[in-house]
Structure 1
Amino acid sequence: MVEARQSWAFLGAYALAWAGGSIAYVPFLTILLPSRIAELHDQTDAVWWLSTLAFSGAIMASIANILAGLASDLTRSRRPWVLAGLAVNLFALLQFGRAETPAQFILLIVIWQLSLNMVLAPLAAWAGDCVPDGQKGVLGGLLALAPALGALSSVFVTMAAAGQLGVQLALVAGLVAVFILPVLIFVAPRKVPIDTAPTPVAERRKAIVIPRATAIMWLARFLVQLAESSLFAFLLLFFRSVSEDVSETSVASLFAVVLCMAVPIALLVGRWSDRHGRPILPLAVCAAVSGFGLIAMALSRDLAMVSANYIVFGTATAVFLSLHAAQTLRVLPRSDRRGRDLGFFNLTNTVPSIVMPIFALTLIPALGFPAMMVMLAVLSFIASFLLVLLAKRAASRQQV
């Protein structure tokens, strides 16, 4: 029997909506918010306030994603939550240009993060409701568009309205609406037979014990995300430790190139995994390649080699994260609690931002950047090993 397929129109519109989520936070958190804080405070105070806002935002994002996903589970409806979150998020975003006091910034960042996760959590669960397992590899490949378009949106916004924060915020809001609204209003998903019924009581009791596949997928993503977050935060400083002539523009351009390269690779690998029924193996390979890229970066002594090895690491990691986001939908323990369970998976994105400074402050001052690269490589290799075990177990059972 041929498995029912979701329409390409919906898959494409969904991928653009997911990219809209990235556009909502990438230019804002990396450029616009720091610029606004820098206008109001000197360098020392600006660093302190940005750290405080980042920490507050990470905590709120962690909680809000779980609650928003659970709310969409309980109402058995995703789109109304996405629309409500989108409206509040865009309103909060536009208010940052007027904020001046610390209390205003903290209040806005809490509202902004809460509403952003009202968009992202139900949107993530919606894919599980609509996309069959045989298309999750392609879905993961399409999700690679999100970080690439998020990075490109930062370039567009800063070039189109340099120095005009209000206009830049309005541009971001407009782009987010343009990318997200079509899948909510104009493109309906095709009905395919995917289980969304409430789980029986006996099965709910079993789900209290986290299945091995779910735990491995969570831990593997956490380890790879920890490596990615750590390197992203200190990428400029690492490059300047190799060559003092490295500019912010060159590093940002390299980062954008990596994300754009990851899109076709993720699509090809995702399509391969669908055709061959091997959803986990590509994840294990990508994690291993990330580890080798980090080892090579630690051993490199000139800028050209560091850049080349970063491209290897960055591309493999970007492919891993996009494919993992789709394949995670296979291993969730309860079909009627996808939103809630994906909220717990979202902790793999937020917790590394809290843990990462501990690694950096421990290793970099004492042993330098190469030591941190080696440690991050070990984390990637552990993730790969765990996924290899999961892939073998899946192959023996012919299911994940």
Structure 2
Amino acid sequence: MAADEAASRRQSTRFLLLYALASAGGAIAYVPFLTLLLPARMAELAGAADVEWLGYSTFLGAVAASVGGIVFGWLSDRTGGRRGWIAAGLLLAILLLLAVPLAKDVTALVAIIVAWQLALNMMLGPLAAWGGDLVPDGQKGLLGGLLAFSPALGAWSGALVTLPAVASLEQRLVLIAALMALAILPALLAGRPQPFPELMRREADGEVARRPVQPAVRMWLARLLVQIAEAALFAYLYFWFRSIDPAMGDNEKAGIFSLALTIAVPVALLAGRWADRNNRPFAPLILAAALSSVGLFGMAVAGDAASAKAAYLGFGIATTAFLSLHSGQMLRVLPRPERRGRDLGFFNLTNTIPSLIMPWLTISLVPSFGFGTLFLLLAGLAGCAVLLLATLPRRA
């Protein structure tokens, strides 16, 4: 009876919306900063060596993000509270962001970036675990759908901070900091979530109930494979479109990218709601990974701009929906509730490892065999993700 009562309880829509907005605060921070403002600042300080130093900062930042996600997730597990870590990470991330113009040489800038990545993951690691603490399994599909707003808001914030009216680096960084605070603070200050102590359920002998490890490993591998494809396209989409149609302008390329992220929001929401209502948590993930593979195959064989755009839109929508829904459903397969923050830190490696794999994969294939071969390989990786997810138990 108690289990049935717990299953029928639902987290408030108010908190789910505020939590999704807070999660988007991370994308609002790092998408415009890492893709637009940091390269520009690096070019000012490093001159002709800007690409090399940007590579160093990207690598060291990825390492810091990986370590920070695990360490701060674990610390939030040990202390038994998430909000304090989220608030401290937000404050430090804002202060370090505003310190970027103070860096007078590249080594100082790289040091700030590494510290900023640690602070950002002091916020994001506990924030991800907070969702697992407060959202029951019956709403994890909806949660994943709402998380699709994160990449879309990240892209839109990039457009906002580069408006002509916001001209200087200092103004743009202040705007990013303000947007971060506006996104994250409402959940911390006014979320008022309903508690779900059963999500940290304990057995009669006092030990935390454990779930099988294998579903979590399969979910981790499936996300990694799809993330490798997503990372490759994020970094090299510009060059691929240029190879298909040299006349395509930058604004058109950015528009296609933003369109895919925007359409993915209602797609992920509908798919997540369907998964909750039909108790089929992994079915939308399987379909989205399959469509990602089909989109990559279409990109591999595209011979003109129209077919290239259509194939990329299919891939971009499916992949964004997959990653958002996966973020919600992976919370149900973590084996140790009392180590949720730490385990989510390990899951976060699927976001950072592709950044280390993707450049070598691209360099080894594209110069000799072209983008088509790369996309065929990535389509195969997405197909492997389909197989991993299709063999998951329905109630993993």
Alpha-carbon distance in structure 1 between the residues aligned to 2:209 and 2:25: 37
1:187 aligns with 2:191: yes
Alpha-carbon distance in structure 1 between the residues aligned to 2:343 and 2:147: 19
Residue in 2 that maps onto 1:277: 279
8 A Cα contact 2:201 2:209, kept in partner: no
Deviations 1:103-154, CA, capped at 9 Å, x for gaps: 2112201110010001100000000100000000000000000000000000
1:302 aligns with 2:304: yes
Alpha-carbon distance in structure 2 between the residues aligned to 1:336 and 1:344: 15
Deviations 1:280-335, CA, capped at 9 Å, x for gaps: 11101100100000001111100111001100000000000000000000100100
1:278 is paired with a residue of what secondary structure?
A: coil
Alpha-carbon distance in structure 2 between the residues aligned to 1:324 and 1:194: 22
Q: How does 1:254-333 map to 2 (within 5 A)?
A: 254-333=256-335
Alpha-carbon distance in structure 2 between the residues aligned to 1:197 and 1:204: 6
Gaps of 5+ in 2: none
The aligned amino acid for 2:68 is A
The aligned amino acid for 2:26 is G
Structure 1 position 188, deviation (Å): 1.2
Q: How does 1:48-67 map to 2 (within 5 A)?
A: 48-67=52-71
Residue in 1 that maps onto 2:33: 28
Residue in 2 that maps onto 1:18: 23
Alpha-carbon distance in structure 1 between the residues aligned to 2:183 and 2:165: 20
The aligned amino acid for 1:213 is P
8 A Cα contact 1:138 1:274, kept in partner: yes
Alpha-carbon distance in structure 2 between the residues aligned to 1:200 and 1:290: 44
The aligned amino acid for 1:285 is L
Alpha-carbon distance in structure 2 between the residues aligned to 1:329 and 1:166: 38
8 A Cα contact 2:261 2:317, kept in partner: yes
The aligned amino acid for 2:336 is R
8 A Cα contact 2:210 2:336, kept in partner: no
Task: Give 1:76's match in structure 2, choosing from 73, 80, 88.
Answer: 80
Residue in 2 that maps onto 1:152: 156
- Could you list the structure 1 runs, at least 4 aligned residues long, displaced by more than 3 angstroms after superposition: 160-163, 197-207
Residue in 1 that maps onto 2:46: 41
1:56 is paired with a residue of what secondary structure?
A: helix
Task: Give 2:182's match in structure 1, choosing from 136, 156, 178.
Answer: 178
Q: State the Cα RMSD in Å.
A: 1.7
Pick closer, same or farther for the CA change 1:200–1:150 going to 2, 3 Å: farther
1:159 is paired with a residue of what secondary structure?
A: coil
Residue in 2 that maps onto 1:8: 13
Identical pairs, percent: 49
TM-score, with structure 1 as normaliser? 0.95
Compare 157-166 and 79-88 and name the one that shifted more.
Answer: 157-166
1:163 is paired with a residue of what secondary structure?
A: coil
Deviations 1:165-203, CA, capped at 9 Å, x for gaps: 000000000000001000001121012343325789997
8 A Cα contact 1:5 1:192, kept in partner: no
Count of paired positions:
391
The aligned amino acid for 2:38 is L
Alpha-carbon distance in structure 2 between the residues aligned to 1:372 and 1:303: 18
1:380 aligns with 2:382: yes
Alpha-carbon distance in structure 1 between the residues aligned to 2:143 and 2:57: 33
Gaps of 5+ in 1: none
1:234 is paired with a residue of what secondary structure?
A: helix
Pick closer, same or farther for the CA change 1:288–1:98 going to 2, 3 Å: same
Alpha-carbon distance in structure 2 between the residues aligned to 1:293 and 1:326: 23
